[in-house]
Structure 1
Amino acid sequence: MSPANKPAESTGPRLLVVDDDADLLRLLSLRLTAAGYQVTTVTSAESALTQLEIEHPQLVLSDVRLPGRDGLQLFDEIRKRHPALPVILLTAHGTIPDAVEATARGVFTYLTKPYDARELLDKIAQALALGAPAPTAGKSGDESWRSEIVSRSNRMAELLAEARMVAKSDASVLLRGDSGAGKELLARAIHRASARADKPFVAVNCGAIPEALLESELFGHVKGAFTDAVANHKGLFQQADGGTLLLDEIGDMPPALQVKLLRVLQERAVRPVGSTQSIAVDVRIISATHRDLDAAMEAGQFREDLYYRLNVVTLSLPPLSARREDIPLLANHFLHRLSSKYGKRLSGFAPEALKALTTAPWPGNVRQLFNVVEQVCALSSSPLIPLALVQRALRSPSVEVQTYAEAKQRFEREYLVGLLKLTDGNVADAARLADRNRTEFYRLLQKHMLTPGHFKAEAPSGGSDAVADERRG
Structure 2
Amino acid sequence: MTVKSSFRVLDGDRKTRDLVSAFLTYKGYETVILDDNADLFDTDRTTSPRILVADLVSLFARSGDALQQIWQTDPEQVAIVYAQSDAARTLPHDERLIFLPKPLNLDELESVVMRALEYQALKVRMPEQPVDEYPHFLCSTIIGRSRQMLNLFEMIEKVAESSATVLIQGESGTGKELAARAIHQLSSRSSKNFVPVNCAAIPDDLLESELFGHVKGSFTGAYANRIGRFEMADKGTLFLDEIGDMKATLQVKLLRVLQAKEFEPVGSTRSQKVDVRIIAASNKNLDEQVATRDFREDLYYRLSVIPITIPPLRDRREDIPLLINHFQGQFNRDRRRLVKGFTREALEMLCNYDWPGNVRELENLVERMITMKESGFITVDDLPEKYLAPRTVVAPPLSVSGSVPVGKELPPEGICLNSAVDAFENGLIMQALHRTGGNKKEAAALLNLKRTTLIEKLKKKNLQFP
TM-score grouping bracket, smaller chain normalisation: 0.5 to 0.7
Partner of 1:320: 313
- Report the residue type matching 1:370 in the other structure: E
Residues 101-137 of structure 1 show CA distances to partners (whole Å, capped at 9, x for unaligned) of xxxxxxxxxxxxxxxxxxxxxxxxxxxxxxx98638x
Map Cα deviations across residues 267-293 of structure 1 (whole Å, 9 max, x no partner): 111211111111111000111111111
Asked if the contact 2:290/2:296 (under 8 Å) is kept, the reply is yes
C-alpha distance in 2 between matches for 1:334 and 1:231: 44
Q: Is the partner of 1:202 in helix, strand or coil? A: strand
Number of aligned residue pairs: 263
Q: Say if 2:380 is the partner of 1:387.
A: yes
Tell me the CA shift for residue 226 of structure 1: 1.4
The 8 Å contact of residues 179 and 364 in structure 1, kept in 2 or not, is answered as yes
Which one-letter code corresponds to 1:250 in the other structure? I
Equivalent residue, structure 2, for 1:290: 283
Query: How does 1:98-117 map onto structure 2 within 5 Å?
Result: none
Kindly indicate whether residue 203 of structure 2 is the aligned counterpart of residue 210 of structure 1.
Answer: yes
From the two aligned structures, give the one with the greater helix fraction. 1
For residues 394-451 of structure 1, what are the alpha-carbon distances to aligned partners after superposition, in whole Å with 9 as ceiling and x for unaligned? 369xxxxxxxxxxxxxxxxxxxxxxxxxxxxxxxxxxxxxxxxxxxxxxxxxxxxxxx
341, 362, 365: which one aligns with 1:369: 362
Cα distance between partner residues in 2 of 1:172 and 1:391? 41
- The answer to whether the 8 A contact 2:264-2:272 is kept is yes
Q: What are the superposed Cα offsets for residues 309-346 of structure 1, whole Å, 9 maximum, x if unpaired?
A: 10101111111011111101111211221223333222
Cross-structure match for 1:463: none
SS at match of 2:383: helix
> Are residues 1:309 and 2:302 paired?
yes
Q: Distance in 2 between matches of 1:395 and 1:202?
A: 40
Could you list the runs of 5+ residues in structure 2 that have no partner in the other structure? 1-127, 390-466
1:43-442 matches, within 5 Å, as 135=135, 146-392=139-385, 394=387
Partners in 1 of 2:134 and 2:173 — Cα distance?
Answer: 26
Once residues 276 and 82 of structure 1 are traced to their aligned partners in structure 2, the CA distance between those partners, rounded to angstroms, is 53
In the TM superposition, residue 306 of structure 1 has moved relative to its aligned partner by 0.5
> What secondary structure, in the 3-state scheme, does the structure 2 residue paired with 1:341 have?
helix
Distance 1:265 1:352 in 2: 52
Distance 1:283 1:352 in 2: 49
Q: Report the CA distance between 1:300 and its aligned residue.
A: 1.2
Q: Which runs of 4+ in 1 moved over 4 A?
A: none
- Amino acid across the alignment from 1:201: F
Q: Percent identity?
A: 52
- Matched residue SS, 2:195: strand
Cα distance in structure 1, aligned partners of 2:374 and 2:141: 29
Contact 2:338 2:374 in 1 (8 A): no
CA distance in 2, matches of 1:383, 1:279: 59
Please give the secondary structure, in 1, of the residue aligned with 2:335: coil
State how far apart, in whole Å, the 1-side matches of 2:336 and 2:161 are.
41
Tell me which amino acid in the other structure corresponds to 2:333: S
What do you get for the CA RMSD once the two structures are aligned? 2.4
* 1:169 Cα deviation from its structure 2 partner: 0.7
* Cα gap change, 1:217 to 1:134, in 2 (>3 Å): closer
**Which structure has more RCO (C-alpha within 8 Å, separation ≥ 6)?**
1
Alignment-mate amino acid for residue 245 of structure 1: L
> 1: CA distance between counterparts of 2:373 and 2:223?
50
Matched residue of 1:383: which SS? strand
Change (3 A) 1:148 1:381: closer
Q: CA deviation at 1:159?
A: 1.3
TM-superposed deviation, 1:207: 0.9
TM-score (norm 2): 0.54
